[in-house]
Amino acid sequence: DIQMTQSPSSLSASVGDRVTITCRANQSINSHLNWYQHKPGKAPKLLIYAASSLHSGVPSRFSGSGSGTDFTLTVTSLQPEDFATYYCQQTYRIPITFGQGTRLEIK
């Protein structure tokens, strides 16, 4: 199975900050990397697919980059609604696997 490792596991930031979350795969996954936002009791939301493409309806302050094994999710100018847990996911090979999650908290 392809192992996905996110860092950091948790992060404290303030409204208006820029934050970056990284995700590393233990083998190349080309650009088959997605990012999700998840809030308790809610459906996970797709933010970025294919490493850098913004999903429909997602604000442009979210962006993704990377290919191969190393990827990043950047959120510029954090808004109150952005505090949540973020997951990366690879769809290069079955089984689909997720990172362990990054909890973004208000400082």
Partner 1 sequence: EVQLVESGGGLVQPGGSLRLSCAASGFTFSSSWMHWVRQAPGKGLVWVSRISTDASITSYADSVKGRFTSSRDNAKNTLYLQMNSLRAEDTAVYYCARGRDGGTPDYWGQGTLVTVSS
Name the residues that contact partner 1, by CB under 8 A. 32, 34, 36, 38, 41-46, 49-50, 55, 87, 89, 91, 94-101
Closest distance between partner 1 and the C-beta of residue 85, in Å?
Answer: 8
For partner 1, give the closer residue by CB, 13 or 46.
46
Closest distance between partner 1 and the C-beta of residue 44, in Å?
Answer: 5
Separation of alpha carbons 106 and 65, rounded Å? 24
Closest distance between partner 1 and the C-beta of residue 98, in Å?
Answer: 5
Distances (CA, A) of 2 to 8, 61, 68, 73: 19, 29, 12, 19
Q: Report which of 4, 9, 58 is spatially closest to residue 29, judged by C-alpha positions.
A: 4
For partner 1, give the closer residue by CB, 24 or 98.
98
For partner 1, give the closer residue by CB, 18 or 93.
93
Residue for token digits 């797709």?
46
Closest distance between partner 1 and the C-beta of residue 7, in Å?
Answer: 14
